[in-house]
Amino acid sequence: MTGMRVLAVDDVKAALDELCRLLRAAPEVAGVGAAGDALTALRMIEGGEFDAVFLDISMPGMNGLELASLLSKLSKPPVIVFVTAYDGHAVSAYGIGAVDYLLKPVRAERLATTLSRVARMVAPVEIPEPVTAPDDTVSAKPDAMPVLPVESEGRIRYVRRGDVEFVEAQGDYVRLHTRGGVHLVRMPISRLLEYWEGAGFARVHRGFLVAIDAVRELRSDAVGGMLAHTDLGDVPVSRRHARELRERLLHAAQRGELGGRG
C-alpha cells in the first residue's frame, strides 16, 4: 500500500469539502475519507485504518480535542492534525500529541509542509491489505463520550457520564441530572443516546434516558404508569420501553451491577 490514507473531520460541509479537495490533490495522499461529526469519525476509524486524521476543534457534541483524546488510547493511533479557525487551543492540541495545528483557511503550501511532517511519522513499510480484521481492532475500540463539556457564564466544565443519573430532553438540549446539580447541554437526546446506550444508559421514555445502575426501584404512578426511582427523582417509563427496562435491570442485578452508586 503506497501513500497515506487520511480522514478529514469538520461539521461545516463547505470547509470539509475544501479540505478534502486539498488533501486529494497532495501527492503523499492515496485516499481521503470525510466525516461531518465526531461519532461518524469514530465509526470510520473503527472500521478501517487511517494514517492521519485532520480534525476541526469546534464541533457540536464531542469536539475535536475530546475525539483526539479518545484516539490516543488506541493501540495504533493515527497521527493527529488540528484544522481550526481559532488559535486559542494550540497549547491543548499539542498537549494531546497533535503533530500540527493548521489555521483556516488552509493554504496548499502550508498543508504540504504538514503532510511532509505526517509522512515522516508514518512507518515507511509496505503493509499488505488485511484479509480479515485483526482481533485487537475490536478490543481497541475507544469509549465514546465519557465526559460532556458544559458551558456556563463563559466557562467550560466537564460532567462525567458516571455522575449522571438520568437525562431529560428539552428541545435541542438535554438536562443532565447529577448529584452536583442539573446541567444543560446543547445536544438532541437521540444523539446522546447513540453515544451512551452502550455504556449503561437506557431510553425509558421519549424524553428521558436513565442510568441502569442509578435505578433503585420501579414504582407505579397515580394513573397506573411506571416510574424508575433514582436518588435524584422519579423518571417516567413508557409502556413501549417498560419490558426492555425490566430485562436490563434483571441482567444488571444478576451481574451485581445494581446499587453501585453511593
Look up the CATH number of the domain holding residue 156.
Answer: 2.40.50.1020
Q: For the chain, how many structural domains are there in total?
A: 2
Q: Residue 142 has what pLDDT? A: 52
96 part of a folded domain: yes
Q: Residue 172 has what pLDDT? A: 86
Same domain, 188 and 167: yes
46 part of a folded domain: yes
225 part of a folded domain: yes
Decide the pairing of beta strands 181-186 and 173-178: antiparallel
Question: Which amino acid appears at position 165 of this protein?
Answer: E
Residue where the block lists cell 451512551: 196
Q: Is the peptide bond between 134 and the residue preceding it cis, with omega within 30 degrees of 0?
A: no
Same domain, 180 and 107: no
Same domain, 17 and 134: yes
The domain that contains 9 carries what CATH number? 3.40.50.2300
Q: What is the largest CA-CA distance in the chain?
A: 69
Dist CA 172 CA 60 (whole Å): 12
**Which cell numbers hold the place of 180?**
452536583
Same domain, 125 and 16: yes
| Among candidate residues 146, 183, 144, the one with its CA nearest the CA of residue 167 | 183
259 part of a folded domain: no
Q: Could you tell me which residues come within 8 angstroms of residue 143 by beta carbon, excluding any fewer than 6 positions away?
A: 70, 73, 199
Boundaries of domain holding 185: 147-254
135 part of a folded domain: yes
Dist CA 208 CA 169 (whole Å): 6
Same domain, 112 and 172: no
Same domain, 49 and 166: no
Residue where the block lists cell 481550526: 84
Q: Residue 125 has what pLDDT? A: 42
Q: Could you tell me which residues come within 8 angstroms of residue 73 by beta carbon, excluding any fewer than 6 positions away?
A: 140, 142, 143
Last residue of a domain, one of 85, 115, 139: 139
Q: Residue 7 has what pLDDT? A: 97
Q: Residue 163 has what pLDDT? A: 94
182 part of a folded domain: yes
108 three-state secondary structure: helix
| CA-based end-to-end distance of the chain | 53
Q: Residue 133 has what pLDDT? A: 45
Averages of pLDDT over each 10 residues, the chain, 262 residues: 86 95 94 93 86 91 84 85 75 67 90 91 53 43 69 77 95 92 90 87 95 91 87 94 90 73 60
262 part of a folded domain: no
Same domain, 124 and 245: no
| Among candidate residues 162, 242, 144, the one with its CA nearest the CA of residue 202 | 242
What pTM was estimated for this model as a whole? 0.51
Residue where the block lists cell 441482567: 251
